[in-house]
Amino acid sequence: MNSLKQQEEDYFLNESNLLPSIEISQPTILNRRLPYVDQPSTPNLELQTLYPSPPTTGGGCGNSPDHHHRMQISIPTHSFIQSTAFDTPSPSKPTIRNCNVYLMSLLLSFGLGILLTYSLNPFINSSISSLSSPSALLPNWIKPSNHEYIQTVSSTPTPNSTNQTYSILDQDYVYLPNNYESINYNTSNYPILNLIKLAQEAWQSKLDSQSKTFQQAVTEYAKRYKRLPPKGFKDWFEWCLKNKVVLIDEFDRIHQVIEPFWALPPHVIRNRSEIVGLDDAFTIMRVKDGKVTVTGKKKDAGRTKDQLNLLKKFIQFLPDVNITMSHHDGPSVFMDYQTKQKHINYAREGKVIPEEEVDLVEDNAALTGFLGACSPDSPMRMYSNGILKSFSPEFGSKGYIGLNHSATMNMCLHPEWQSLHGFTSWSGPRPGVLRPIFSFAQQPSFTSDLLISPLEQFEDVLINSKDFKPWAKKTESKRLMWKGTATGVWFDRLSQWRNSHRFRLHSLGQFNQTDLMGSIKVLNVSRASDTGKEEVIRVVNRKVRFNELVKRYLNVGFVGKLGQCSVEDGSCEKVGQEIEFGDYVDWEYQNNHKYVLDIDGNAWSGRFRRLLGSNSLVFKSTIWPEWYQDRIQAWFHYVPIKIDYSDLLDLMSFFTGDLDGKGGFDGLAEQIAGNGKAWVDDHFRFEDVQAYMWRTYLEYARVSSDDRLEMNYNN
């Protein structure tokens, strides 16, 4: 069973080129299954080029009359070609003539699909919704322009309400391989607008589907995780209702990190917890009979006290359990793919790994570091084997993260980003056994830590809502603001610090050459009126010098001084001379910006809650899913940004207009900012973190207990 089965595929919105004809090519060597989508009616998609079924011995172009052949519609992304496959009846008598007819029919069908996708438009004739809807500011009537403009084309099929199966007639967009451009595209289906609309629908659907009664919650739990809830579940549920925890069912991430531990004998889990706790960087919180004691050299550290204060809120409801907590910012548990899959398979079969095998790992010398954590058919492994020759499009090609931001955090699916983040810009560690360590960060591709919430996010004294300016009073309305320290990577002669996420952002913000990169294309939506009465949305292609774009849209850079660096090899001195550090900025300065950026430091973000609650629109780029990841919606509460930042300027142009201030969607940006503020008030309270950690500890107490059956909920 493939670990990718636990990840929904993130489909990117990329540009394509409408070709004058469709070429039938030989099949590529790629024919891997895409990640599993947990819906039983959904067939897996396949990677193939557009290609008819091979001829039978009878000379026809299809299979025998009693079979079906599969038709692949190629869909390009910046990382690999995806295709939608669907069954069609084969000709009753396959012949060479039928083969020609088949090919002509295929071309006509594809052309019909193009016409239909242009004519079916979710924005035409749509009514304006309330201000809680991101689509509220879209015009009632959108007229396509008669002129030619270059526009981004989505390569994300729009999911229907029942499954994830796509055919060419179901899609809002047309996908053809070439060089990431589309001409004469129907501008009313601009992909950013479509994403925002779909995000609102997805969020509302999630809210509407939550359990309202305890029995519904038990049923939903059993449906999702194929087991009974843990002992103490009823107390937890009743407390959640009393404290207005809205998303009562959305705890899939807890299940994902706990599941492999079901394959270990409980005493092995407890023994490993004790051994890890001997390290100076770890603390053990021992809960027994409703009381807690703490051991370890960091038992008096601030993070220990934070977690103890949270634990004491519900300790009387917890079974006896020992909790080993890391004090590092980042994760600590790295497993190889084969060993982790073995744990998952045993767990799903209700079995325990034999005692003599629990310490075995696949330390394959041919799979250095991070490669060993990815499945053999993952893009990461195929890329390393030379199967995928070219992964990254040229800088500046347009594409947007889809509704599932978490899927983009899986580096096994996106090897083109590995070198662009400080945490992954090296080969990676050697694998080890599964250890029960509660950490503040988990990287879903590579690490298996149990996730806890860093409570420093609640210590910001400026989180009082009265300190935040309303949108209309923020005077810096055209540039994206980020000021931060040079963390996220260790600066020395061996590290690839120039590729790290924070340094690249700083360098982007300081770019001032007028001719080094020439000019690039930037998309912006402008409004015009052909008749004086009807509003028209046009997507304009405009060539602008790169330094002008940076000056217009970005206010980003390092502040302070270099800290995480090697003195011995001279990096502190030399890198410190190369980087131009700015002065620290106060809160009033940050609060005055309508658009703010949140990116990773060494691991999790300490400022996301404050930024999201500040009435500003938050752009977020990260590889770290946090405790709330199942409980927030990209494009409704914030704007997700790719690790390579190639979508950054395009999105700023969309929201704030072009270099002359024309176009833009300020009102739409205000709505998303308001949604983010409301989410913090309703879903990022201390009570919500408490509900998450309480349920996590219930799950862990059960899986580490000798009598797991007794630790099930039983009414």
Q: What's the pLDDT tens digit per position in 590-611? A: 999 999 999 999 998 889 999 9
State the pLDDT at residue 662.
78
> Residue 2: pLDDT band by 50, 70, 90 thresholds?
very low
State the pLDDT at residue 661.
79
Interval 150-187: pLDDT, tens: 222 223 323 222 222 222 222 232 222 222 233 233 44
User: C-alpha 499: how far from its chain's center?
Assistant: 20
Q: How far apart (Å, rounded) are the C-alpha atoms in residues 8 and 499?
A: 28
CB 372 within 8 A of CB 337: yes
Q: Which two tokens stand for residue 487?
A: 């963390």
State the pLDDT at residue 242.
97
Contacts of 460 (CB under 8 A, 6+ apart): 607, 609, 610
Q: Residue ranges of the domains in the chain?
A: 1-209, 218-363+431-452+690-703, 458-684
> Residue 663: pLDDT band by 50, 70, 90 thresholds?
confident
> Residue 520: pLDDT band by 50, 70, 90 thresholds?
low
What is the DSSP-derived secondary structure letter of residue 248?
S
More confident residue, 486 or 152: 486
State the pLDDT at residue 19.
25
Q: For residue 412, count other CB atoms closer than 10 A to its CB.
A: 24
Report how far apart the first and last C-alpha atoms of the chain are (Å, whole number). Answer: 34
Interval 284-319: pLDDT, tens: 999 999 999 999 999 999 999 999 999 999 999 999
CB 361 within 8 A of CB 336: yes
Q: Which two tokens stand for residue 671?
A: 């709505």
Average pLDDT, the chain: 74
Mean pLDDT throughout 457-462?
66
Kind of pairing, strands 554-558 and 81-89?
Answer: unpaired
Angle value at C-alpha 626, between 322 and 249, nearest 5 degrees? 80
**Whether the predicted pLDDT of 352 surpasses 60:** yes
> Residue 543: pLDDT band by 50, 70, 90 thresholds?
confident
Q: What percent of the chain has pLDDT over 90?
A: 54
State the pLDDT at residue 384.
84
Mean pLDDT throughout 87-108?
39
State the pLDDT at residue 523.
64
Interval 40-65: pLDDT, tens: 333 222 222 222 223 333 333 333 33
**Whether the predicted pLDDT of 430 surpasses 80:** yes
> Residue 526: pLDDT band by 50, 70, 90 thresholds?
low
Q: Give the global pTM.
A: 0.74
CB 538 within 8 A of CB 184: no
User: C-alpha 502: how far from its chain's center?
Assistant: 19
Closest CA to 247 of 632, 710, 634: 632
Q: What percent of the chain has pLDDT over 70?
A: 67
**Whether the predicted pLDDT of 34 surpasses 90:** no
Q: Is 22 exposed, middle or buried (0-12, 13-18, 19+ CB in 10 A)?
A: middle
Interval 387-406: pLDDT, tens: 765 554 433 345 789 999 99
State the pLDDT at residue 587.
85
Q: Which of 415-429, 478-492, 693-707 has the lowest mean pLDDT?
A: 415-429
State the pLDDT at residue 92.
38
Q: How far apart (Å, rounded) are the C-alpha atoms in residues 280 and 492?
A: 26
**Whether the predicted pLDDT of 214 surpasses 90:** yes
Q: Which of 101-105, 109-113, 354-358, 424-428 has the highest mean pLDDT?
A: 354-358
State the pLDDT at residue 275.
94
Helices (H), 492-613: 501-509, 546-553, 571-578, 587-591, 608-612
**Whether the predicted pLDDT of 445 surpasses 80:** yes
> Residue 69: pLDDT band by 50, 70, 90 thresholds?
very low
**Whether the predicted pLDDT of 243 surpasses 80:** yes
Q: E-strand spans in 511-558?
A: 519-528, 536-545, 554-558
What is the DSSP-derived secondary structure letter of residue 411?
T
User: Does the domain at residues 458-684 carry the CATH identifier 3.40.50?
Assistant: yes
